[in-house]
Amino acid sequence: MKLLKHGWLLLKLTVALGFLGILSLLSRPKIGWDPTYRFSWLEYTDAEDIPEKVCNCSAILQGESEAVEQAKILTITKDFHKSVQIPDEYYINATQDCREFKLSRKYLTFPLSQEEEEFPLAYSMVVHHKTFERLLRAIYAPQNIYCVHVDKKSEASVFSAISAITSCFPNVFMVSKAVNVVYAAWPRVQADLNCMADLYNAKTKWKYFINLCGQDFPLKTNLEIVRALRSLKGGNSLESEKLPEEKQRRVSNVYQIVDGKIQEKGKTKEPPPFNLPIMSGNAYIVVNRGYIRSVLEDKRVLALIEWAKDTYSPDEFIWATIQRIPGVPGSTLPNRKYDMTDINAIARLVKWQSHEGPLGSLETVYPVCQGHHVRSICVYGAGDLQWLLKQHHLFANKFDTETDPIAVYCLEKYLRQKTLLAT
Ligand SMILES: *[C@@H]1O[C@H](CO)[C@@H](O)[C@H](O)[C@H]1NC(C)=O
Ligand SMILES: *[C@@H]1O[C@H](CO)[C@@H](O)[C@H](O)[C@H]1NC(C)=O
């Protein structure tokens, strides 16, 4: 076993050295050999317009108040915003030469360990924005597969930019059937379902499924994600709790989409099929391959899906409900003792404004948001990073590279450095 691993590493190193050889032939002065990392050419360097003096990520990650304050000032500077935004046209042009695109954006081109290679992941990415590329780059590994759903309503330039990017990778593809996503209505679930089917039918026999939206960003490296998933020992990790009284209405009344908005129809719904207890959760899940098979094939789940199509915000109960159906791989019993909160699950970290507070207060779930709020959810600022990185969640929501670019900038640098140090 040891020998095998050694041989495998040697092979990787040979590939890597061969790669370096090609690079030196092409005489790329920007790429050097830094003995700190074996794969130093994959390291992110400081953006030309934000040198470390102006935006010191290591100080920000350590929560140093001076660096965080400086980041806040930078965040509200117009010129700074201009300098960090990447226009759609750049992607359309840059992806004409995929090799050059992957090289200049420093995509990983080979699995960094045998452990990761033997544990491929499947991602469903429901996005509507070009910032998709930053997220893809942060989670990209060649052994994983990625299904991308772009909202049918999206501008043509966004669609072109994103499909140009996906066409550069054999393991990243556009969903076969895109839908019109309507806030709090069924199509949001359908988008994930369409990706689930495409991913399940792909050649790669991936081990776990993770769904993301464009405002998510990872808190862990691919290796850390793989290790966290292996430690679940076949279990799933998602919020699944008793449905609170105030949300009952969402599943006891019929809703419909009118002019692109969801509204009540004034009709009562039949109870759920098979008397399934409806659980409360959120749209983001970490589940094994068998759970996805159940979603696509189990007749109880298929009946639940049909039943849920005219409810309010089905994305916030359907996965949580399936997670408690006996026989679904990785599920837990419906008994309340198995309830899991979003804080205990590793799928997604979200800071709801109503749960923020001073540390030391009994009510506080997390420290006060250092960015700003959108629909009562924290959009993380640089000052949130130190706390974020101490959490066990694989991903956090929300990040916005337009309003708060430094949080993502420092996070992506941190993750890449950690990735390379582990090789
Ligand atoms: C950035 O912050 C770290 C940690 O405080 C410090 O050691 C380093 O010297 C700083 N770098 C610059 C360029 O100011
Ligand atoms: C398109 O890309 C090429 C090289 O890949 C570059 O020389 C050119 O300036 C780019 N054009 C635009 C409009 O960005």
Confidence at residue 1, expressed as pLDDT on a 0 to 100 scale: 41
The residue out of 338, 368, 402 marking a domain boundary is 338
Q: How many helices (H) and strands (E) does the chain have?
A: 17, 14
pLDDT over threshold 50, residue 240: yes
Structure token digits, residue 340: 């899991």
Between 375 and 44, name the one with better pLDDT: 375
297 inside domain: yes
Query: Which of 93, 95, 100 best tests ligand 2's pocket when mutated (most atoms within 8 Å of CB)?
Result: 93
Q: Is 246 exposed, middle or buried (0-12, 13-18, 19+ CB in 10 A)?
A: exposed
pLDDT over threshold 50, residue 142: yes
59 inside domain: yes
Confidence at residue 5, expressed as pLDDT on a 0 to 100 scale: 47
In this structure, the answer to whether residues 176 and 250 fall within a common structural domain is no
In this structure, the answer to whether residues 67 and 134 fall within a common structural domain is no
Query: Which residues, including other chains, have CB under 8 Å from residue 382's CB and lie 6 or more apart?
Result: 60, 67, 68, 71, 72, 75, 370, 404, 406, 407, 410
Ligand 1 centre and the CA of 316: distance in Å?
Answer: 43
Q: How many separate domains does the chain show?
A: 3
In this structure, the answer to whether residues 247 and 264 fall within a common structural domain is yes
In this structure, the answer to whether residues 105 and 207 fall within a common structural domain is yes
* Strand-strand pairing, 395-397 and 348-350: parallel
Query: Which of 52, 58, 64, 385 best tests ligand 1's pocket when mutated (most atoms within 8 Å of CB)?
Result: 58
pLDDT over threshold 60, residue 304: yes
Confidence of residue 88 (pLDDT cuts 50, 70, 90): confident
Tens of pLDDT, residue by residue over 109-123, are 999 999 999 999 999
| Average pLDDT of the residues in 374-378 | 96
Confidence of residue 177 (pLDDT cuts 50, 70, 90): very high
Confidence at residue 423, expressed as pLDDT on a 0 to 100 scale: 78
Ligand 2 centre and the CA of 93: distance in Å?
Answer: 6
Q: Which atom of ligand 1 is nearest to the CA of 64?
A: 5
In this structure, the answer to whether residues 253 and 285 fall within a common structural domain is yes
| Average pLDDT of the residues in 296-308 | 98
| Average pLDDT of the residues in 134-154 | 97
28 inside domain: no
19 inside domain: no
368 inside domain: yes
Between 85 and 219, name the one with better pLDDT: 219
- The bound ligand whose nearest atom lies closest to the alpha carbon of 94 is 2
Confidence at residue 159, expressed as pLDDT on a 0 to 100 scale: 93
Structure token digits, residue 375: 């629909």
In this structure, the answer to whether residues 306 and 332 fall within a common structural domain is yes
228 inside domain: no
Confidence of residue 67 (pLDDT cuts 50, 70, 90): very high
The residue out of 299, 319, 338 marking a domain boundary is 338
| Average pLDDT of the residues in 362-390 | 97
DSSP state of 54: T
Range of the domain at 136: 87-219
In this structure, the answer to whether residues 199 and 284 fall within a common structural domain is no
CB atoms within 10 A of CB 103: 17
pLDDT over threshold 70, residue 373: yes
Query: Which residues, including other chains, have CB under 8 Å from residue 326's CB and lie 6 or more apart?
Result: 333, 334
Confidence at residue 36, expressed as pLDDT on a 0 to 100 scale: 55
Q: Which atom of ligand 2 is nearest to the CA of 93?
A: 1
Confidence at residue 80, expressed as pLDDT on a 0 to 100 scale: 77
pLDDT over threshold 50, residue 19: no
**Measuring CA to CA, which residue among 37, 206, 26 is closest to residue 119?**
206
In this structure, the answer to whether residues 213 and 95 fall within a common structural domain is yes
- C-alpha 287/C-alpha 323 separation (Å) is 9
| Average pLDDT of the residues in 279-296 | 98
**Measuring CA to CA, which residue among 244, 239, 309, 243 is closest to residue 273?**
309
In this structure, the answer to whether residues 157 and 103 fall within a common structural domain is yes
Percentage, residues of the chain above pLDDT 70? 89
| Average pLDDT of the residues in 90-98 | 93
Q: Provide the mean pLDDT of the chain.
A: 90
Tens of pLDDT, residue by residue over 204-224, are 999 999 999 999 999 999 999
- C-alpha 365/C-alpha 374 separation (Å) is 18
97 CB within 6 A, ligand 2: yes
In this structure, the answer to whether residues 321 and 392 fall within a common structural domain is no
**Measuring CA to CA, which residue among 119, 388, 391, 108 is closest to residue 229?**
119
| Average pLDDT of the residues in 341-358 | 97
Q: Using alpha carbons only, how large is the chain's radius of gyration in Å?
A: 22
Q: Whose C-alpha lies nearest to ligand 1, atom 13?
A: 53
Confidence of residue 412 (pLDDT cuts 50, 70, 90): very high
pLDDT over threshold 60, residue 8: no
The residue out of 338, 361, 385 marking a domain boundary is 338
CATH number at residue 152: 3.40.50
Confidence at residue 22, expressed as pLDDT on a 0 to 100 scale: 38
Confidence of residue 32 (pLDDT cuts 50, 70, 90): very low
In this structure, the answer to whether residues 105 and 183 fall within a common structural domain is yes
**Measuring CA to CA, which residue among 165, 107, 109 is closest to residue 132?**
165
126 inside domain: yes
Backbone angles phi, psi at 337, to 5 degrees: -65, -20
Which string of b and e fits 372-393 if b means at least 16 CB within 10 Å? eeeeeebbbbbbbbbbbbeeeb
104 CB within 6 A, ligand 2: no
The 3-state secondary structure of 36-49 reads CCCCHHHCCCCCCC
- C-alpha 389/C-alpha 411 separation (Å) is 9
In this structure, the answer to whether residues 254 and 322 fall within a common structural domain is yes
Q: Which segments of 371-404 does DSSP mark as H helices, in order?
A: 385-388
Pocket of ligand 1 from Cβ distances under 6 Å: 52-53, 56, 58-59, 64
Residue 316 bears catalytic tag: yes
CB atoms within 10 A of CB 157: 14
41 inside domain: no
pLDDT over threshold 90, residue 52: no
| Average pLDDT of the residues in 50-62 | 85
